Structure 1
């Protein structure tokens, strides 16, 4: 296994506008992530990054996506050890969900197609924000451009 698994974390109590997209939904998906899913995200990095950059509601999160990909790469290479599996799985769920055009609210619906993507991104970020900050601090301490 590429990454160590961590005990399941209790989902937070973030309230969501759409009751279909909530912590329980995302938590369920996170617990089902496997190493193959991590590889799927890595293989589709360019397409996911392009979607983040080209979709108006998601554009401001493009840089965040780059940081997530960089973290996954450093963990996979063994450069940045001791990342909880829950963090890796959360990143994978968020990126795969954004990549999927036919999710709970299909992306091609004008005006509301990205609401669920933003909700999943917000939930995931709420769970892993501390780990992303630690990663960025590590990159700065090691002289890498953040």
Structure 2
């Protein structure tokens, strides 16, 4: 089955447009992230090759929407949320219910998003690690 790359990218552009609108509503954005995470966990076996990348995408999106992390360009968050919206759509270029191939276009888009924002994600990981260290220091000083 040959994938129509342009059709997938066009569908993704629509998802990014939806992401721009959803980002204006914190509750909708959080609900979208939670829904995508639920779908990812349910289908973890099909997503094994990109699982670590997805976890990072979910984390930065959640921290951004909650206002905890804003050191990332808005275009990067729109791409990430657009990728999650694309992933959520059961009827995309390759419908998710198609055995074996159902997530191939989703994996393509999520990898594409990851590559687009990898530098931003590296900065986020440093920030996140520092947050964990700070929390650890605070917890240690409580004892």
For normalisation by structure 1, the TM-score amounts to 0.71
Structure 1 distance, partners of 2:22, 2:86, is: 15
Which has the higher mean CA deviation after the structures are superposed, 31-40 or 97-106?
A: 31-40
Matched residue pairs, number?
129
Aligned to 1:21: 8
Q: Rate the CA distance shift 1:64–1:79 in 2: closer, same or farther, 3 A.
A: same
Q: Rate the CA distance shift 1:73–1:50 in 2: closer, same or farther, 3 A.
A: closer
* Greater helix proportion: 2
**Cα drift, residue 115 of structure 1:** 1.2
Aligned to 1:69: 58
Superposed CA RMSD in Å reads: 2.7
In 2, are the aligned partners of 1:49 and 1:62 still within 8 Å (CA)? no
Structure 1 gap ranges (5+) = 1-15
For normalisation by structure 2, the TM-score amounts to 0.72
Q: Rate the CA distance shift 1:35–1:28 in 2: closer, same or farther, 3 A.
A: closer
What secondary structure is seen at the aligned counterpart in 1 of 2:8? coil
Q: Does 1:117 align with 2:106?
A: yes
Q: Of 42, 57, 61, which aligns to 2:30?
A: 42
Q: Rate the CA distance shift 1:60–1:41 in 2: closer, same or farther, 3 A.
A: farther
Q: Of 37, 42, 65, which aligns to 1:54?
A: 42
Structure 2 distance, partners of 1:115, 1:76, is: 28
After superposition, what is the alpha-carbon deviation per residue over 1:49-92, rounded to whole angstroms, capped at 9, x for unaligned?
Answer: 23222323213434433322321232234332231011100111
In 2, are the aligned partners of 1:52 and 1:61 still within 8 Å (CA)? no
Aligned to 2:141: none
The structure having more radius of gyration, on CA atoms, is: 2
What secondary structure is seen at the aligned counterpart in 2 of 1:107? coil
